[in-house]
Amino acid sequence: MHELQYLIFTVIILAVIFDFINGFHDTANAIATSVSTRAIKPAHAIIMAAILNFLGAMYSTGVAKTIGGDIVSSAELVNETIIIAALIGAIVWNIATWWLAVPSSSSHALVGGIIGAVLVSVGAEGLNSWGIGKIVIALIASPILAICSGMLIMYLLYGIFGKLKPSTVNDKFRKVQVLVAATMAFSHGSNDAQKSMGIMTLALLAGGYIQEFEVPTYVKILAATAMACGTALGGWRIIKTIGGKIFKLDPISGFGADLNSSVVIFTATLLHLPVSTTHVVSGSIMGVGTAKRINAVRWGVAQQMVTAWVLTIPCTAIMGAIAYYVVSSLL
């Protein structure tokens, strides 16, 4: 019993660490555009993002139930060692990509870590192929949707405001850009923080501490607080990549990108689908850049990001598998 309590405690600590890293890794998603266009000071942007990430994380638990219930076929087949290994794989990947300033998906990393750890422990029968397929489709389709809808939003904005002087347009949109950055931060928290909530709840269910998959209030508070604290530290390496290296944003395009991203992400939250906020934001920026002109987007940087996206799930699956062997040998 004491060993089980120790393992559950370890899962919760690692999940909180994952959420914390997710916060500073993905801070750029909420504020990169508004910071790069100088609509808001960096320090103010981070405080705003931290508060709204917390509020967004407390909004619902639908995505948490998808992550905790749709990847594995049954909670009875999963133990704490598997979950610990999955979290370690995802955390290592997040730290590595943050250090290299590559915007990658924490969602992909977590899904990959779980798949790898389950495969080498209980085998393919431990995985819910239908649930994983649904999650992967959402993760792949969301950035494609963000590119297309981002282009449409910018065509609409250019059609309405295109005849005005650029300086006038920029002044107006620099003011309202802060508002959409705030909605983006709320949307980010509503989707991303729930992923670690799902993992913690799965561990509690597998350990017999709860009888059904309902996220306890203290789990919601832990995850929301960890993400808010991580966000408060900022993620300047990735902010520079998203805010300026994909496409040189101005206030109107920054507004369009943030508006588009927040709509796509929050819609996914309402549908209980986990998406990569990093991919959605990057896709939105590519879309608004393409609307201006296709060669305005630095496709070389975009290609590097896509490569990281493609590699994340298989690499973290391998990391999760290795972590499982290491952790199980130590316990």
- Interior CA angle at 58 toward 269 and 270, to 5°? 15
- Contact (CB, 8 A) for 274 and 135: yes
Contacts of 89 (CB under 8 A, 6+ apart): 109, 112, 113, 116, 117, 316, 317, 318, 319, 320, 321, 322, 323
**Per residue in 148-182, pLDDT tens?**
999 999 999 988 887 888 778 888 888 788 888 88
Residue 211 has pLDDT above 90, yes or no: no
**Per residue in 227-274, pLDDT tens?**
888 877 765 555 555 555 566 778 888 889 889 999 999 999 998 888
The C-alpha atoms of residue 177 and residue 243 are separated, in whole angstroms, by 14
The C-alpha atoms of residue 90 and residue 93 are separated, in whole angstroms, by 5
Q: Which residue type does 297 have?
A: V
Q: Which two tokens stand for residue 185?
A: 């931060």
The C-alpha atoms of residue 71 and residue 44 are separated, in whole angstroms, by 38
pLDDT at residue 282, rounded to an integer = 81
Q: Of 45-54, 148-157, 174-183, 194-203, which one has max mean pLDDT?
A: 148-157
